[in-house]
Amino acid sequence: MAKPDYLDEPPADDRITDYDRANFKTYLRLLDADAEGADWKEAVGIIFGIDPEQEPDRALLIHRSHLARARWMTEHGYRHLLRGNPQ
């Protein structure tokens, strides 16, 4: 199911944002797809409902920026959750 409430690029913040909290599932889906070696075009189509043939630049931007934020969550953002401080 496509998620209609997303930005082309997630906020670049050094803390977990409301946008991050609203998109935890999206981030996990992107990480899973990447770990499985899924084609980014297929992933962006399924996860975001974007047709990469119709909007190639936007689709790539959305995929790359959200995957980067998902990785940030696994490397840095999770620490805020462990401390009990999602801010």
Q: Structure pTM?
A: 0.85
Q: Give the phi and the psi of residue 80 in degrees, each rounded to 5.
A: -65, -35
pLDDT per residue over 17-59, tens digit each? 999 999 999 999 999 999 999 999 999 999 999 999 999 999 9
Q: Give the residue-averaged pLDDT of 6-18.
A: 92
Cα–Cα distance, 59 to 50 (Å, whole number)? 6
Name the residue with tokens 């998620």: 3
Task: Tally the C-alpha atoms within 13 A of residue 16's C-alpha that lie toward its C-beta.
Answer: 23
Q: What is the pLDDT of residue 65?
A: 98
